[in-house]
Structure 1
Amino acid sequence: MNVFRHFDLNLLRVFMTLMHERHVTRAAEKLHLSQPAISHALKRLREALDDPLLVRTDQGMQPTPRALALLPVVQQALAMLQEGLAPPATFLPESSTRRFTLATTDYFEEVMYPTFLSQLLTYAPGISFSIELITPEVLSEGLEQRQIDMVVGLDTQIELPGGVLKAPWMQEELVCLAALNNTHIGDSLTILQFADALHVELADISGLGPSNIDNCLVQHGLTRRVISKNLNYIAAARVVALTGAIMTLPRQMAQRFISMLPVRLVEPPKELPALNMTLIQHGLYANEPSTVWLHQQLTAFAKAFSEQA
């Protein structure tokens, strides 16, 4: 028999208060309800439980054996509901030993992550991070199964599976890199010159389709020839240094290579879009306190980083 089918669970609070006060008027005051409302609720309780529950005696209203038997059961049930419905425990970074797993771009890991981690460790010394590659499995399964806490740095154009949340994070200007002895490339490029050049780019290990650069070229009826796809920026930059090719990358990453390799910066076509990076997480865990904290820290870091750039 399904007892909940005809039973209003709101009556349990009335039952508890009546058992404590054993007086309809005082119970009404305690619950901030009218005396008729409490009388009506007691009538419904009696009908639902087929028992008078409280009976008027010379010593006032007294509980029946059925009411006394129900009391500890209702107390425990309400206590469990109170605990279950309470807000989740606050995340305390200063004492946490939580390990977060981020799936990131090569750019974030190289340029931003070391500073981000060192700043967090000053007030959250027990936390740690694992860095993973962004793959299709990360977006389709890793986030949902919480193998990955957050994906950092993917471009805004990316199509995402259902249940996955994407928020704007940081914008970075794109530039081109060319070898110092590359006389075919000037200090800046038109979009036609850009399309005619040989290119080096990072391999699309995320499996998420054409880049914003290729989409931009297609919109202008152009394509480019990519002579090398590399897994990381440093390898790609070394190819650029030894060939007549160019590569397109975030300005702050490109500037790192100027002192390392015989390469120089080249201004890209004005039509080329900026790199608009995102924070991606799964909706299942978006309100979990440690995830909320991590999202806040990454957002604050991005703001400070952009202001200093």
Structure 2
Amino acid sequence: MRSLRHFDLNLLLVFEALMRERHVTRAAEKLHLSQPALSHALKRLREALDDPLLVRTGNGLQPTPRALALLPVVQQALALLQAGLAPPESFTPATSTRRFTLATTDYFEEVMYPAFLSQLLTYAPEISFSIELITPDVLSDALEQRQVDMVVGLDSQSALPTGVIQTPWMDEALVCLAAADNDGVGEALTIEQFARQPHVELADISGLLPSSIENCLAQHQLSRRVISKNLNYIAAARVVSLTDAIMTLPRQMAERFITMLPVRIVVPPQELPALNMTLIQHGLYANDPAIAWLANELTAFAKRFGR
């Protein structure tokens, strides 16, 4: 044989079966081939290796020294190929010690994560998590380099690099928050009233979030004044509680603040879009059983959690 490129690797299966069975008919049955097809394959093997390989004797087919020397090499190669082509091992949460790294929004970490982790630990007691902020490097590099396993809660309208996979996860209505003693804001706001209020909002440190509120206002030839951009919801809510400003945030986050601070929920303009949150992972690891399990758990939890 002059080159592996000219050798039909399927013949290795034929060789191994013939060496194991030492019988053409039985080897053909094992490989689900006809006897003539196997005989033809044996002929091709002999020509390729320039050796008879199996010789008929009074004790049936017997291997030549070349065949005996080749057998362990072929068996090892086939075993390596079989292992390499096998599907990845399934993920077993009950015994896994996997540590997942999630890049998340304030909403997920504050509102959902504690209950989600508590639930998982009942049937995956050895897993653990690291929570990180969604920064500009997360989607461009960290997902691809497996420094982050998944991005949780980013808005569906966010600009994404190639190679990542985004799937719908959870929708949440937006509401407004105002100080309890803010007499300038009623129980509900029209789009015009909303635009006239001073606003507090979260700073987009990821650089990825679209300005859905600005876009909505622009469609109505309106704009707003943002007096403070904060890094997290709790700081923003505290600013609201001490000023005449309002902020727009997911409803379940707002419901937590009204028990913590002197603030109240205000019905927002009906024109404001809902928050459509997603799960994002890198396409390189889409078939990782652990990541698939985590995505399924997050999706199931969101369905039970949403109201």
Q: Do Structure 1 and Structure 2 share a fold, with TM-score over 0.5? A: yes
Q: Which amino acid aligns with 2:127?
A: I
1:172 aligns with 2:172: yes
Structure 2: where are the runs of 5+ without partners? Answer: none
Q: Distance in 2 between matches of 1:59 and 1:92?
A: 50
Match of 2:195 in 1: 195
The yes-or-no answer on 1:151 pairing with 2:151 is: yes
| Alpha-carbon distance, 1:251 to partner | 0.5
- Indicate the percent of aligned positions where both proteins have the same amino acid: 78
Alpha-carbon deviation of 1:222?
2.4
Question: What is the CA–CA distance in structure 2 between the aligned matches of 1:249 and 1:177, rounded to whole Å?
Answer: 8
Partner of 2:86: 86
What amino acid does structure 1 have at the position aligned with 2:163?
A: G
Aligned equivalent of 2:290:
290
Counterpart position of 2:95? 95
Superposed, 1:238-249 pairs within 5 Å as: 238-249=238-249
Give me the whole-angstrom Cα distance separating, in 1, the residues matched to 2:27 and 2:96.
44
Shifted more, 134-143 versus 215-224: the winner is 215-224
User: 1:265: Cα distance to partner?
Assistant: 0.9
Give me the whole-angstrom Cα distance separating, in 2, the residues matched to 1:17 and 1:237: 73
How much has 1:218 moved relative to structure 2?
A: 2.4
**Structure 2 residue matching 1:235: 3-state secondary structure:** helix
| Matching residue's letter, 2:7 | F
Q: CA deviation at 1:267?
A: 0.8
> Which residue identity lines up with residue 253 of structure 2 in the other structure?
M
1:249 is paired with a residue whose SS is strand
SS of equivalent residue, structure 1 residue 118: helix
How do 1:113-262 and structure 2 match up within 5 A?
113-262=113-262
Q: CA deviation at 1:217?
A: 1.9
Alpha-carbon offset, residue 131 of structure 1: 0.5
Q: Which moved more, 1:257-266 or 1:199-208?
A: 257-266
Q: By how many angstroms is 1:209 displaced? A: 4.6
How far apart in 2 are the matches of 1:125 and 1:20?
46
Secondary structure in 1 matching 2:38 = helix
2:51 and 2:194 map into 1 onto residues whose CA distance is 86
The one-letter amino acid paired with 1:265 is I
Query: How far off is 1:180 after superposition?
Result: 1.8
- Equivalent-residue separation in structure 2 for 1:20 and 1:7 (angstroms): 21
In 2, Cα distance between equivalents of 1:35 and 1:254:
75
For 1:262, the aligned partner's letter is P
C-alpha separation in 2, matches of 1:102 and 1:132: 6
Using the TM superposition, give the Cα deviation of residue 2 of structure 1 relative to its aligned residue in structure 2, in angstroms: 7.0
The one-letter amino acid of 1:295's match is A
In the alignment, structure 1 residue 108 sits paired with structure 2 residue 108: yes
Aligned to 1:32: 32
3-state SS, counterpart of residue 284 of structure 1? helix
Separation of aligned partners in 1, 2:215 and 2:208: 13
- Provide the rounded CA distance (Å) in 2 between the counterparts of 1:39 and 1:75: 21
Residue 103 (structure 1) shift: 0.4
Normalising by structure 2, we get a TM-score of 0.96
Measure the CA separation in 2 of the matches of 1:57 and 1:222: 96
The separation in 1 between residues aligned to 2:209 and 2:180, in whole angstroms, is 32
Partner of 2:264: 264
How far 1:12 sits from its partner (Å)?
0.7
Task: Give the corresponding residue for 1:4.
Answer: 4
Tell me, in whole angstroms, the C-alpha distance in 1 between the residues paired with 2:11 and 2:263: 76
Alpha-carbon displacement from aligned partner over 1:100-151 (angstroms, at most 9, x marks no partner):
1110000110010000011111111111111100011011111011110111
The more displaced of 53-62 and 250-259 is 53-62
Alpha-carbon distance in structure 2 between the residues aligned to 1:43 and 1:101:
56
How far does residue 18 in structure 1 lie from its aligned partner after superposition?
0.9
> Aligned letter for 1:74?
V
TM-score under structure 1 length normalisation: 0.96
Where 2:285 maps in the other structure, the secondary structure is coil
Once the two structures are superposed, what CA deviation does each residue of 1:51-80 show, in whole Å capped at 9, x if it has no partner? 121122222222111111110000111111
5+ residue gaps, structure 1, are none
Distance in structure 2 (CA, Å) of the matches to 1:208 and 1:220: 24
Structure 1 pair 53/167, CA: closer, same or farther in 2 (3 Å)?
Answer: same
